[in-house]
Structure 1
Amino acid sequence: MKDKRLQILVIAGYDPSAGAGILADVKTAESNSVYAYAVCTGFTFQNSSRIAAVRWFSEEDISTQIRLCCEDTLFEWVKLGITQDPSMLAGILGSLRKYCPGVKIIWDPVLSSSSGTTFMEGLGAADFERLLPQVFMITPNLPELYALYPAGNPEAICARLSRKTIVYLKGGHDKDWPGRDRLFIRGVCHTLASGIAEAFQKHGSGCVLSTALTANLAREFATVPVEADSAVVKAALKSKQYTEAFLNSHPGRLGWHKAYENE
């Protein structure tokens, strides 16, 4: 019997605390009424506070995982999280083009962990921008943007980058407007104001948001054309609401994932 549920693919690391990585991604997707397959890029030796080491999968192993998942279903939406370096990222993008042509990718460009572990070493601004036409959306935070563009104006940079792909700029590190996210589509900025006065900090909140976006975009575009900017904005608002509910689900660093009524 054909499985008619909406299905997405998540590609990221394995965090034993389940606060981030593919465990958090699967929980987020299911809480947003979407089924997720998961491909693992590497195993992180960590807890909810720090990473001690990372054991990466080979590019061949990652490609095999992608191929086998795509034998089950032809995914239309993929969330892409941590990768070791630009070479691994290029291999993943190539495998997706080969086994799942036409897939739309939400890329969370994680450059470092909060405890200081570096990912994507060697990625410069020029290489970063060459990757953008291959993805549907990126979800950087302010520190990641400043790492690539140390002297740039975030809003101007995102407006320019959004000519190549949609940019969701996370505002959790914005001291002037805490919690204000901004969505840039072809140079136009849509402000997503925070719906909560205060939030508890969570391990993995960026993973949760990017997967919620992938799930809600899959839901929105199940009935409308991909060119509909209004559907992107609607999916972004739903995902922000879900993430804020996750942040305040528990005072500790690990949150609860609950089915969130965001219709």
Structure 2
Amino acid sequence: MTFSRPYALSIAGFDPSGGAGLLADCKTLESNAVYGLGVCAALTVQNDVQFQRVSWVSPTDILDQAQLLFARFPIGCVKIGLVESLPQLPELLGWLRAQNSHIRIIWDPVLKASAGYEFHGGPPSTLVETICSFLTLLTPNRPEMMRLWPAATPEQAALEVSAFCPVLLKGGHDRGPLATDILLLEGKEHRFATPRLPQGEKHGSGCVLSAAVLAHLAKGATLVEACRAGKAYTATVLASNPTLLGYHFGSTQPHAYQ
């Protein structure tokens, strides 16, 4: 039996190890029965444990890549990862909205490489509010949440930012037997927990989670359903092997929500 697949677009950095960025996003989308399109925003020199440098793709080249994709494919869902300039991000978000007024956008804020390289400091609160006004979902981990919006705790920061857009606070950097992600949506809190694995650390796990959420949104899931399914998929990648690079497994449900 032949199925048609929805399209989803990742705008992110190219990680040669395939654990994070564009390659990880497209693996995740494909494994969740969504056709993944990619726009390269940065070229990184790295592997799963070492980061050396980054070469940025110009805003013009980013838009030129995206323009041809939007001209050819019906793109309703976009994920944004590593970009050079946070102050210029609203311009990109506005351009995406101009291509499709109903577009759903996830921003996974890559502020620091797992090997320690600093991409961005903490942006001003007015910029965070402006960026969030375009978003369907913001997916920070706990350190990223505190950098984006300083507060007493990551939970408090996420709660305050959820006044501007839904926030999925990732729990991988927390402690305890469960890794719990918290979705703050329209004044309500939804929790998604999986057992914390002794060898579950993976390079690019945050990229995988946000891309998995994007895939389920593209297939028609609600935001709560997409976050729950994205968490479950990420758990399978974390459990796939004891190395820092997870394996992806294909889905047999291309239209699970339609």
TM-score for both structures, normalised by structure 2: 0.91
- For residue 157 of structure 1, report the CA deviation from its aligned partner: 2.6
Query: Which residue is equivalent to 2:21?
Result: 21
- For residue 51 of structure 1, report the CA deviation from its aligned partner: 1.5
- Whether the 8 Å CA contact 1:159–1:189 is kept in 2: the answer is no
- For residue 146 of structure 1, report the CA deviation from its aligned partner: 1.7
Q: Distance between the aligned counterparts of 1:75 and 1:195, measured in 2? A: 34
- Whether the 8 Å CA contact 2:108–2:138 is kept in 1: the answer is yes
Task: Determine if the alignment matches structure 1 residue 201 to structure 2 residue 192.
Answer: no
- For residue 65 of structure 1, report the CA deviation from its aligned partner: 0.7
Query: Which residue is equivalent to 1:255?
Result: 246
Q: Which has the higher contact order (CA 8 A, sep 6+)?
A: 2
Q: Which runs of 5+ in 2 are unaligned?
A: none
| Bigger mean CA deviation after superposition, 232-241 or 171-180 | 171-180
* SS of equivalent to 2:244: coil
Q: How does 1:1-263 map to 2 (within 5 A)?
A: 4-121=4-121, 123-176=123-176, 178-195=178-195, 198-221=198-221, 231-260=222-251
- Whether the 8 Å CA contact 1:40–1:57 is kept in 2: the answer is yes
Q: Distance between the aligned counterparts of 1:180 and 1:214, measured in 2? A: 19
Compared CA separation, residues 86 and 196, structure 1 to 2 (3 A): closer
Compared CA separation, residues 43 and 174, structure 1 to 2 (3 A): same
Q: Deviations over 1:144-200 (max 9, x none)?
A: 112234442322332232222111000001124641111110121111111565452
Q: Distance between the aligned counterparts of 2:32 and 2:234, measured in 1? A: 11
Q: Deviations over 1:196-252 (max 9, x none)?
A: 65452100001000000000111134xxxxxxxxx2222111110100100111100
| Bigger mean CA deviation after superposition, 67-76 or 25-34 | 67-76
Aligned residues: 252
Compared CA separation, residues 150 and 166, structure 1 to 2 (3 A): closer
- For residue 261 of structure 1, report the CA deviation from its aligned partner: 6.0
- For residue 14 of structure 1, report the CA deviation from its aligned partner: 0.4
Q: Distance between the aligned counterparts of 1:47 and 1:10, measured in 2? A: 20
- Say what the alpha-carbon RMSD is for the aligned residues: 1.9
- Whether the 8 Å CA contact 2:90–2:130 is kept in 1: the answer is no
Q: Distance between the aligned counterparts of 1:151 and 1:100, measured in 2? A: 34
Q: Deviations over 1:14-71 (max 9, x none)?
A: 0000111111111000100100110000100111112101000110000101101101
* SS of equivalent to 2:44: strand
What amino acid does structure 2 have at the position aligned with 1:255? G
Q: Which runs of 5+ in 1 are unaligned?
A: 222-230
Q: Distance between the aligned counterparts of 1:47 and 1:95, measured in 2? A: 32
- Whether the 8 Å CA contact 1:85–1:122 is kept in 2: the answer is no
Compared CA separation, residues 128 and 213, structure 1 to 2 (3 A): same
| Bigger mean CA deviation after superposition, 107-116 or 203-212 | 107-116
